[in-house]
Amino acid sequence: MSSDPATRRLWIGIPGPTLDDATRATLEDVRPGGVVLFRRNVASLDGVRALIRSLHELLGPDLIVSVDHEGGLVTRFHRELTVFPGNMALGAAAYREPSMGEHLGEEQGELSARELRDLGIRVNLAPVLDLATSGDNPGITIRSFGAPAELAEKLGSALVRGTLRGGVLPTLKHFPGKGEATVDAHLDLPVIPDGDQDPHLLPFRAALRAGAPLVMTSHVIYRALDAERPATLSPAVVNGLLREGLGFEGVVVSDDLEMGAMRRHFGFDDVVQGACAAGHDVLCIAHDADLHRRAAALLRAGRDDGAIWYGDADVVAARLDGLRFPAAPTPPDLARAASVAEAIAGRAITILRDEAGRIPVAGPCVLALPTLRRETEVEDPLRGEEDASALADALGETEIVRLSTEPTGEELDGLLSLAGDRTLLVGSTNARFLDGQRAYVRRCLQEHPRAVLLALRSPFDAEVAADLDGSVVLSYGFRAVQLRALAAVVRGATRAYGQSPV
């Protein structure tokens, strides 16, 4: 099937791991230029290869298959490919050893890209370059390298270089940097008040110099740049700041136009037209087939009518045609990739506080684990089963107590009674934002004489216990490779090398 010049601007999601009749009909009607894969599309590696072959058979060889595969929280292949610890773990490793961190980042970029390219994926919607300048930012946290712009400059550029070398095109996000947002754009529209955005631009400038060919914008209003419109709909941000200010001549991609930040505040037609008018070449719509068809109809009509909002069709086509996909590299190296993931995880573990000298921990322990409630499409929740068991096995002599996301008083009574004189490892998964989990952490550290807080997700969880005694260890994520590294530090098998980058 030949491509449609108007609808090649659409990158859409599909519902499952195979092309059923309804999905085929949608794809034939819409004729998108790209398909974005999500976890729902992954049943097995062979299944993904077959799915991508089917997509190309239906839509042609120029179809661009992409994926959000950042590592850490946003990992579409949870078991099937190498799971790298994620940006902030890399940041914690690099904050103490900058040159080693850059080396590991470039290695990660290449090795992860080789695995993706082997499946037929040609674009990774990563790396995230947002700075973790605020603990109140629920949509970013450990997806960021950390707070220092210089750290994100170096590590973002390293990932770009490695990804290109591995045969995949990287995508910088979320321009112009949403580190100061205090609302998750998956749920609602963040507004960043007037302030200096320049530090947040530094990682983007550096990564563009490293050769990044795509940039994804953010669903955020930046009062200092455009007082009324989010970056998604703002010509001042896209055509002005990114194109004219930074001189970017590549492809600009929107974030998912179905996210709450857009859906709750703007009509869908206005979003499609506004994103094009702002200067986007590609519009991402991740889920709804009806919206895919609606967007296709709008784009075709805009092109045929010569609508001002559609933009210059020849310029958009030239940018998309200008994407140069690297030659396929050597095959994946799973052993080397696993070694790099372990090196990042091991060097990231941080003992934030241990005045009481409770680490290393000897003897039997009780490990308390609240589940991580899934509220958005971003994260894979920690349900506690497989990974928690892996952590307990690595610790040895450890009894797991699984708790609610926000543990009740009754649960805490039972936990403290059960722990007795054993060391209590207080796992946290979202204490920074959940009142019930904050109360759980504080009560355990106040009432148990041998409590150790394990912040399994965000280092900002440590803030809820900043005024209390007790030891605090940061892992910057809960993937299995990180939990094994955490156990090794807690038990004293290895020393902690990491330094918190926030």
Task: Give mean pLDDT, residues 380-404.
Answer: 74
In whole angstroms, how far apart are CA 469 and each of 18, 82, 462, 464, 486?
Answer: 53, 37, 12, 12, 21
pLDDT in tens, 82-135: 999 999 999 999 999 999 999 999 999 999 999 999 999 999 999 999 999 988
**Catalytic residue (one of 186, 219, 280, 448):** 186
Query: What are the beta bridge partners of residue 169?
Result: 123
Confidence category of residue 389, pLDDT binned at 50, 70, 90: confident
Is residue 386 packed enough to be buried (19+ CB in 10 Å), middle (13-18) or exposed (0-12)? exposed
Dihedral angle computed from the Cα positions of residues 112, 117, 119 and 120, in that order, rounded to the nearest 10 degrees: 150
HSE (CB half, 13 Å, CA atoms) of 253? 33
CA 231, distance to chain mean position in Å, is 19
Active site annotation includes 219:
no
State yes or no: pLDDT of 382 exceeds 90.
no
What fold characterizes domain 349-490? Answer: Rossmann fold (3.40.50)
Confidence of residue 390 (pLDDT cuts 50, 70, 90): confident
Greater model confidence, 470 or 203: 203
Q: How far is CA 230 from the centre of its chain?
A: 20
Query: Residue 78 has what pLDDT?
Result: 84
pLDDT at position 388, please? 67
Q: What is the DSSP letter of 372?
A: -
Using CA atoms, how far apart are residues 442 and 467, in angstroms rounded to an integer? Answer: 10
**What are the residue ranges of CATH 3.40.50.1700 in the chain?**
349-490
197 in Cβ contact with 174 (< 8 Å): no
pLDDT above 70 (res 384): no
Q: Which one-letter amino acid corresponds to residue 150?
A: E
Q: What is the pLDDT of residues 42-53, one digit of tens each?
A: 999 999 999 999
**Residue range 11-30: mean pLDDT, rounded:** 97
Candidate from 93-102, 231-240, 320-329, 454-463 with smallest mean pLDDT: 320-329
Q: Name the catalytic one among 130, 184, 255, 256.
A: 255
Question: pLDDT tens digits, residue range 404-448?
Answer: 999 999 999 999 999 999 999 999 999 999 999 999 999 999 999
Residues 326-337 have pLDDT tens digits of 887 789 999 999
CB atoms under 10 Å from CB of 43, counted, come to 14
Q: Is the pLDDT of residue 184 over 60?
A: yes
**Are 54 and 113 contacting, i.e. CB atoms less than 8 angstroms apart?**
no
Contact between 165 and 109 (Cβ < 8 Å): yes
Asked whether residue 376 carries a pLDDT value surpassing 60, the answer given is no
pLDDT at 373 over 60: no
DSSP assigned state of 457: S
**C-alpha–C-alpha distance, residues 379 and 74, integer Å:** 6
> What average pLDDT does the chain have?
94
Q: Which of 351, 317, 354 is nearest to 474 (CA)?
A: 351
CA dist 178 and 230 (Å) reads: 11
pLDDT of residue 82: 96
What is the percent of the chain where pLDDT is above 90?
89
* Residue intervals in the chain for CATH 3.20.20.300: 8-321
Please report, as a single letter, which amino acid is at residue 337.
A
Instruction: Report H helices in 127-197.
Output: 149-165
Please enumerate in sequence order all residues whose Cβ is within 8 A of that of 492, keeping only pairs 6 or more positions apart, or say none.
359, 360, 361, 362
Residue 392 has a CB neighbour count (10 Å cut-off) of 20
CATH superfamily, domain 8-321, is Glycoside hydrolase, family 3, N-terminal domain (3.20.20.300)
Q: What is the pLDDT of residues 56-91, one digit of tens each?
A: 999 999 999 999 999 998 999 988 999 999 999 999
Separation between Cα atoms, residue 15 and residue 23, nearest integer Å: 7
Per DSSP, helices labelled H in 306-398 are: 313-321, 334-348, 386-395
